[in-house]
Structure 1
Amino acid sequence: MDKLILQEKYGHILDENLLGEILQIGRFKTYKKNDIIIDIGQPLKFIPLLISGNIKILREDNEGNELLIYFLEAGETCTMSLTCCMGTTKSKIRAVAEKDSSLVMIPVQNMLQWFHNNRSWRTFILESYQERFDEMLDTIDNIAFMKMDERLNKYLVEKTKLHGSKTINVKHQDIAEDLHTSRVVISRLLKQLENEEKIKLSRNKIVVL
C-alpha cells in the first residue's frame, strides 16, 4: 500500500529505484488536524514528503504571533526545512497539519546523498524550491500591496481548493492568526463578504458562493 501511494504521489518525478530506497529507509507517520509536525527551534534530522492531507507553514514574530507563509499539498515537500537541514540549523518555521495528514520522513544524510547522485531527486528539490520561492513572493506581495479584505477573499478561495469543497470548517480566530490580524477585523470583513453574497456564514463554518 505504501508503495502504491508513493508511486501515485511521486512516481511522475522520482525514478523507480529511488522510490524503492524511500520505502526502505523512510519513516511513515500520520498526524491529526492541528498537530505540529515541525516546530520553530527544532533540530531537523528528517525532511517530510507529504503523501496525503495538507500542511500549513507558519513563521512567528518575537511576540508569538504567527503568519501563514504557504500551504503544502500531497506530492510536495517543505523547502524551508530542506534549507535548515542542508545548513544543519534549527527549524525557522512551524509546520501544522491543516487536516489529517500522512508523511514519509527522509533522513538528512539520504537527502544530501540523493541530491548529488540522483537526477530525479535533484530535479524534484530544485522545482520545489522554485515553487515555494514563488509562493513566498506572493505572500510578500499580498502583505505589501493587497488590502485585508482582498487577502481574506484570496485565503478563502485557496482553502476551498485545498479541501476540494466550497464549505470551510474554520474559526474566525484561526483565520486571524493565519493572516496576522485580529479576530474582530476578520469577523467584520467576513460579514461584509456575506452582505456582498460572496460567502455564507454559520458557526465555525464558511460556504464560499
Structure 2
Amino acid sequence: MIEELKNNYGYLFEEALLEEINDVAILKEFKADVTIIETESYIVSIPLLLSGAIKILREDENGDELVLYYLERGDTCATTLSCCMGQTKSKIRAVSETDVALLMIPKQKMSEWLSKYKSWQEYILQSYHNRLQEFIEAVDTIAFLNMDQRLLKYLRDKALVNHNDIISVTHQQIANDLHTSRVVISRLLKSLEKQSKIELQRNQIKVLEL
C-alpha cells in the first residue's frame, strides 16, 4: 500500500507521515452507487481518496436530496473532518459516483498529526478551503442559476469526475440529485439537445460542451 500512497500523496506528505498512514490506515473499496457515509451517523475515520469519485449530498427531513460537490483522488471530506473534531453526527450522505478505493484514518490521528506534521496541517487547511469554495458555488448555483443552467452544470461536473463525456444516468436520478421532478428534467434535457449542448442516447447522455 505504501507505493500507492506515494503515488497519490507523495507530493503532499513527507516520508515519515506516509509511513504512519501506511501503518494505521484501513483500505476500503466500494462499487459505484454505494452509500459510504449515512446522514446522522457518527464518523470514526477520516477518508483519503485513492481513486474514483464520491458524491456528497444533503438530505432534507422528507428524504429529498441535493448534490453539494464531488470528491476526487487526493481529496478528503471537510464535513467528515468537522464531525471528527466536534464528535457530532454527519449532516451529509456520501455515495460512490464510480468504483472507489479509499484509506480510512482513525480520527484521533487527525489532531495528533496537526501538531506533528506541517504538511498534514496544510493539507487539512487546504481541504477546508476547497470544500468551502464548493459550498459557496453550490449555494450560488441554487440561488442564481436557472434550472436549465443548473442541469448543464450538473452534467458537466458529472462528466468531469467520471472522466467521460458520456454519462450513464436516468432522468429520475438527475431529478433526485437536483431536487426537482423527472418531467422537468426530461423537458430541459430535450431543450439542451436542441441547443446542441448535449446528445441524448439510449440510457445515456453525451455532454458536447465541457
Aligned to 1:65: 64
The one-letter code of the counterpart of 1:12 is: Y
Aligned to 2:205: 206
Which segment drifts farther, 174-183 or 127-136?
A: 174-183
Tell me by how many angstroms 1:128 deviates: 0.3
- Provide the secondary structure at the position in 2 that maps to 1:91: coil
Tell me by how many angstroms 1:20 deviates: 0.7
Deviation string, structure 1 residues 36-76 (Cα, Å, up to 9, x no partner): 11111111110111100000001101111001110000100
The one-letter code of the counterpart of 1:90 is: K
Which segment drifts farther, 24-33 or 6-15?
A: 6-15
Q: How many residues align?
A: 208
- Provide the secondary structure at the position in 2 that maps to 1:95: strand
Question: Aligned equivalents of 1:126 and 1:78: distance in 2?
Answer: 12
Alignment of structure 1 residues 101-120 onto 2, 5 Å: 101-120=100-119
Question: Aligned equivalents of 1:161 and 1:7: distance in 2?
Answer: 24
Tell me by how many angstroms 1:126 deviates: 0.2
Aligned to 1:83: 82
Question: Aligned equivalents of 2:172 and 2:13: distance in 1?
Answer: 39
Deviation string, structure 1 residues 17-47 (Cα, Å, up to 9, x no partner): 1111111100000001111111111111101
Aligned to 1:148: 147
Tell me by how many angstroms 1:88 deviates: 0.5
TM-score, normalised with respect to structure 2: 0.97
Which segment drifts farther, 22-31 or 195-204?
A: 195-204
Tell me by how many angstroms 1:116 deviates: 1.8
Alignment of structure 1 residues 1-209 onto 2, 5 Å: 2-209=1-208
Identity of aligned residues (%): 51
The one-letter code of the counterpart of 2:45 is: F
The one-letter code of the counterpart of 2:178 is: L
Which segment drifts farther, 178-187 or 143-152?
A: 178-187
Which segment drifts farther, 131-140 or 35-44?
A: 35-44
Deviation string, structure 1 residues 130-163 (Cα, Å, up to 9, x no partner): 0000000000000000001001111111112111
Question: Aligned equivalents of 2:153 and 2:99: distance in 1?
Answer: 23
Unaligned runs of 5+ in 2: none
Question: Aligned equivalents of 1:116 and 1:183: distance in 2?
Answer: 49
RMSD: 0.8
The one-letter code of the counterpart of 1:63 is: N
Unaligned runs of 5+ in 1: none
The one-letter code of the counterpart of 1:185 is: V
TM-score, normalised with respect to structure 1: 0.97
Moved segments of 4+, more than 6 Å: none
Tell me by how many angstroms 1:203 deviates: 2.5
- Provide the secondary structure at the position in 2 that maps to 1:193: helix
